[in-house]
Structure 1
Amino acid sequence: MAIFMTILQRLLYAALLLIAVLVLNFTMMNLAPGDIADTIAASMGGADAEMMEQIRAEYGLDQPFPVQLLAYVSRVLSFDLGYSYFYNAPVTTLIFEKLPATLLLVLVAQSLALVVGVLLGVFSARHPNGIANYFVTLIALFGYAAPVFWTGILLLIAFSLKIPLFPVAGMSDITVDGNFFVKAVDVAHHMVLPVITLGSIFLALYSRLSRASMLEVLGSDYVRTAKAKGLSQREIVLKHALKNALPPVVTLAGLQFSAVISGAVLVETVFSWPGLGQLALTSILARDTPTILGILFFSALVVIIGNLLTDLVLRAIDPRVRGRA
């Protein structure tokens, strides 16, 4: 019953936060110079005053700001994100068309960075004065210092141009024909460089945090007691230390999911990956306000859901959190 009330409370907070994000995004877009009518007129090569008034009336821009805001929030709450004049399609349709590519890239990069980062951190903590510790530190420094787009460009130059091991751009090769397995291998081949690029900075974060957390746990009293009982190092790490060292890493992974989404914009641009990042960049350049607002809303929704799931996972793996409201 307690967990049910906690989930209900978190959902209420999430709904209020989502409405606040909607209001803030719409307000900021309206404070920016120009509007949809100006962009449409520019794409048409110009328009007279009468035409501009017709365009503004069609999009409801002639109404007072509070009326526009209320109408926008009402549409979004009824799952209508508006219509893109640039793509000539509903914004919801555009987002769900691009979503699978971005989810595939983000989830694979995040999962690999989390798994490899935890393994490197644990191995480094078990050998704090060995070469593994310096290797993890070097990875962390590179991950912190290197911008995502710079890493992507370097990988493209090295492994697509100089050593042509991987494709330069895109998600698949249109010339590849075959069954599902053949096409999946082709997509995986295209994913290698974008996944490494997107996962590099998060690999550094997870490896350093898991190393620090594991070192703290390995120095605790119950670990010393386990050693005194004659348990092997493997049993101590896997059955006792790792479970108690994971909560900070899981928390960071949930909080960093939003950063992965934003980082995907740069990675998708560098590698021409056909996802939400490419859609967002094109919409910004085209001043396609409904699409931009739709992507901002969807990104906020993903972050809120990610934080809620992180909280539930922490309650599942850490008994100390379960008793908290």
Structure 2
Amino acid sequence: MWKFILRRFLVMIPQLFLLSIIVFMMAKAMPGDALSGQEINNSRTSPAELERIREDMGLNDPWYQQYTRWASNAIQGDFGVSYTHKIPVMDVIEDRLWNTVYLAIVTFIFTYLLAIPLGIVSGRYSDSWLDKGVTGYSYLGFGTPIFIFALIMLFVFGFGLNWFPSGGSVDSNVDGGTFAYVISKINHLILPGLSTALIATTSTIQYLRNEIIDNKIKDFVRTARSKGVPESKVYSRHILRNSFLPIAAFLGYEITGLIGGSVIIETIFSYPGLGQLFLSSVSLRDFSVVTAIVMMTGFATLIGTLLSDIILSAVDPRIRIE
């Protein structure tokens, strides 16, 4: 197992190198440059002065020189200075990153608290009215765009019933480090997390349901029943154990996908996370922040791939990737 993990980490090095080139070139291909998104273009600064600033910032250097300079600093954890915020990129990202991680954790918990029981019930009692109800919910979730569902949730529970805050990550009138601060953070996470989870559960429910139905007719299940094994143990030790394998295989992707795919939710709920920061940085052409966020998301995806393989081999001892 440790040899496999080491090999995967070594394979990630060229993958990260290729990703960094793609990310950098795509950022450079965006219209304009770092100065185009700043107020300096709205001032009385002359074109000659703008050109001098671009020269001092190295924006006129060949792309490979800019990439080498950027990559060497990024390896050391230095993604440069945000052209918009005038502070180091990591200082801009740090608070937003933790907000996105908290949102991903809450969404992940809600997703599996809902998906696993519904998937088990739907698969065990297949073709029943209960199964049809769960399947109908899944199909409805598949066909509902997340931004429409999130807007409905925000309108009903945020503005209509006023049960949850309609924006932000914490109340501005509470002090950090207090119990009230923690409660406020949780309260701001529930609505966006639940809105995402109610849509994200659909795929997990269907995966688990289909696996349970397929495993119910396998030979090893028939053998267990013929030996007189109680039905509860047949489900817990044979059917469910094998049915959870595909869920475990996608677990790492689910975690990293929630961290990197929260742009829409964060924008709708005005939640100050990486997704909202990414959109604003693109509109302001803040290349330093954009490239840093995409690189961090790409790295998280590679880690998620590795995590999925590790979890899969840990769930089923018969599967060992060496």
TM-score by length of 2: 0.93
Q: Which residue in the other structure is 1:113 paired with?
A: 111
- Select 1:227's aligned residue among 199, 204, 225: 225
Corresponding position of 1:55: 53
The 3 A distance-change label for structure 1 pair 255 and 52 is same
Aligned to 1:65: 63
Query: CA distance change for structure 1 residues 40 and 174 in 2, over 3 Å: closer, same or farther?
Result: closer
Deviation at 1:64, TM superposition (A): 1.2
Q: Distance in 2 between matches of 1:321 and 1:312?
A: 10
Give 2:9's aligned residue: 11
Of 185-194 and 264-273, the range deviating more from structure 2: 185-194
Matches of 2:194 and 2:51, distance apart in 1? 49
- Give the superposition deviation at 1:180: 4.0
Aligned equivalent of 2:299:
301
Alignment of 1:248-287 (within 5 A): 248-287=246-285
2:185 to 184, 187, 193: 187
Give the match's secondary structure for 2:319: helix
Q: Which residue does 1:174 correspond to in 2?
A: 172
CA RMSD, Structure 1 to Structure 2 (Å): 2.0
What residue is the counterpart of 1:82 in the other structure? 80
Shift of 1:44: 4.7
Structure 1 residues not aligned, in runs of 5+: none
Report the Cα distance in structure 1 between the residues aligned to 2:309 and 2:106, rounded to whole angstroms.
21
Partners of 2:81 and 2:288 within 8 A in 1: yes
Which structure 2 residues correspond to residues 1-40 of structure 1 after superposition, within 5 A? 3-40=1-38
How far 1:178 sits from its partner (Å)? 9.7
Aligned length: 322
Instruction: Identify unmatched segments of 5+ residues in structure 2.
Output: none
Residue 14 to residue 118, structure 1, CA distance change in 2 (3 Å): same
Query: Does the residue aligned with 1:191 lie in a helix, a strand or coil?
Result: helix
Range that drifts further, 291-300 or 46-55? 46-55
CA contact (8 A) 2:120 2:212 kept: yes
Matched residues, percent identical? Answer: 29
Give the Cα–Cα distance (whole angstroms) in 2 for the partners of residues 315 and 210 of structure 1.
18
Q: CA separation of 1:167/1:314 partners in 2, compared to 1, >3 Å: closer, same or farther?
A: same
User: Which moves more between the two structures, 84-93 or 254-263?
Assistant: 254-263
Query: Structure 1 residues 286, 143: CA separation in 2 closer, same or farther (over 3 Å shift)?
Result: same
User: Residue 140 of structure 1: SS of its match in structure 2?
Assistant: helix
Q: Does the alignment pair 1:127 with 2:99?
A: no
- State the Cα deviation string for residues 164-220 of structure 1 (Å, max 9, x = none): 222211222233569844333332222221011221222001000001111112221
> Please, which of 224, 233, 239 is the counterpart of residue 237 of structure 2?
239
